[in-house]
Amino acid sequence: MILFRTLLFSILVPGMVVGVVPYLLLTRGPEVPGVGLGGIRYAGLVPLLGGLLFYLASAWNFVAEGRGTPAPIDPPKLLVTSGPYRFVRNPMYVGGVLILSGEALLFASVALLLYLCLVWLVFHLFIILYEEPHLRKVFGTEYEKYCRDVRRWVPDITRVAGRKQG
């Protein structure tokens, strides 16, 4: 049942942010000139697919380890620190940003690039103004230690390379 709720939330919320809105911007949005990138734009498939996998792995960890969903009304019961959460504190948001980056590049779209900047700002403000204070209240010192060990947005390369224990 948790897996179904996670799938439903993922389709309705992140699916809207990285799927429906970009589609509408590309097909019905304001006419914003694209950027002439030629074949290099297909490199956008790398962050797009990587972001999708990052999101899916993160959502799976919420179900398997946290016993909850990404939805704020049905959050994990336990602090999730495995999988992608070993490298960044917000891998679902990072996955969304990667997907949007890939779309902006793939479609050579200035409109999608501007939308990506807006989405990142909203994510960041939501994280620092609501999510992190809430997690500190719920998980206390366990979350404080996690914040000291794992960066918010950009992975610690030594941690990713496996040279740093923690």
Q: Give the pLDDT score at 166.
A: 47
Nearest to 92 by CA among 61, 66, 59: 59
Q: Give the pLDDT score at 161.
A: 58
Q: Give the pLDDT score at 73.
A: 84
Calculated CA dihedral for residues 80, 85, 88, 89, nearest 10 degrees: -10
Is the whole model's pTM more than 0.95, yes or no?
A: no
Region 2-160: CATH code:
1.20.120.1630
Q: Give the pLDDT score at 30.
A: 67
Q: Give the pLDDT score at 35.
A: 67
Nearest to 123 by CA among 83, 96, 105: 96
Domain residue limits, the chain: 2-160
Q: What is the residue-level pLDDT of the chain in tens, covering all 166 positions?
A: 888 888 888 888 899 999 999 999 988 876 766 667 778 888 999 999 999 999 999 999 989 988 888 888 888 899 999 999 999 999 999 999 999 999 999 988 889 999 999 999 999 999 999 999 999 999 999 999 999 999 999 988 776 555 555 4
